């Protein structure tokens, strides 16, 4: 497989991962908010609404952690493909911002899954009956919203940046060989 083909496959995997981490995460959040508000409007307690919708976030956290791992690997492959440029200090600032945005996004999504979503999932069965579990769940939920939101933001930043940069052409791929 040629370097250009590897670059194209790598970029496609990167875009899929970022789409899940930014657009997918934003959609899961939007749907959860709508469902919780609808449940509350029907007189359902917040703890019960969280119990009903929490599993979606817990399940999505596995998707997010997998996509974060893919994003880290694809950005590393991209960086290694630009090793000559990087060693000479010629990486564009926009590319560095992309790498940093991807790293922040991936790190936050892994933190979201491992530090927040998984413990929240373990507390789910008890939040309706155990006040201490409910309080712990609320603390985790508050922190997870911040981490998740910032992760989505950095995912969108990373997703947009390469679209403002000129794409690699076959000619530029051949020159880098």
Q: What is the mean pLDDT of residues 59-87?
A: 90
Structural domain count of the chain: 1
175, part of any domain: no
The tokens of 131 are what? 């006040």
9, part of any domain: yes
Entry pTM: 0.85
Highest mean pLDDT among 17-21, 95-99, 160-164: 17-21
8, part of any domain: yes
Buried-exposed string 116-141: b where 16+ CB fall within 10 A, e elsewhere: bbbebbebbeebeeeeebbebbbebb
177, part of any domain: no
| CA-derived radius of gyration, the chain | 20
Axis-axis angle for helices 3-18, 93-111 (nearest 10): 50
Supply the range of the domain harboring residue 62.
3-166
Q: What is the pLDDT of residues 134-170, one digit of tens each?
A: 899 999 999 999 999 999 999 999 999 865 555 555 5
176, part of any domain: no
172, part of any domain: no
148, part of any domain: yes
10, part of any domain: yes
């Amino acid at each position: 497989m040629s370097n250009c083909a590897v670059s194209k496959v790598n970029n496609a995997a990167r875009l899929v991962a970022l789409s899940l981490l930014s657009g997918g995460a934003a959609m899961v959040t939007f749907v959860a908010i709508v469902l919780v508000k609808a449940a509350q409007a029907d007189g359902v307690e917040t703890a019960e609404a969280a119990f009903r919708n929490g599993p979606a976030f817990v399940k999505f956290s596995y998707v997010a952690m997998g996509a974060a791992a893919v994003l880290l690997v694809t950005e590393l492959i991209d960086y290694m493909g630009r090793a000559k440029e990087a060693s000479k200090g010629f990486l564009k600032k926009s590319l560095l911002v992309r790498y940093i945005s991807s790293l922040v996004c991936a790190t936050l999504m892994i933190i979201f899954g491992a530090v927040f979503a998984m413990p929240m999932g373990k507390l789910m069965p008890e939040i309706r009956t155990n006040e201490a579990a409910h309080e712990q769940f609320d603390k985790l939920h508050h922190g997870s919203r911040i981490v998740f939101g910032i992760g989505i933001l950095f995912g969108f930043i990373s997703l947009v940046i390469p679209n403002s940069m000129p794409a690699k052409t076959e000619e530029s791929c051949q020159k880098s060989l």
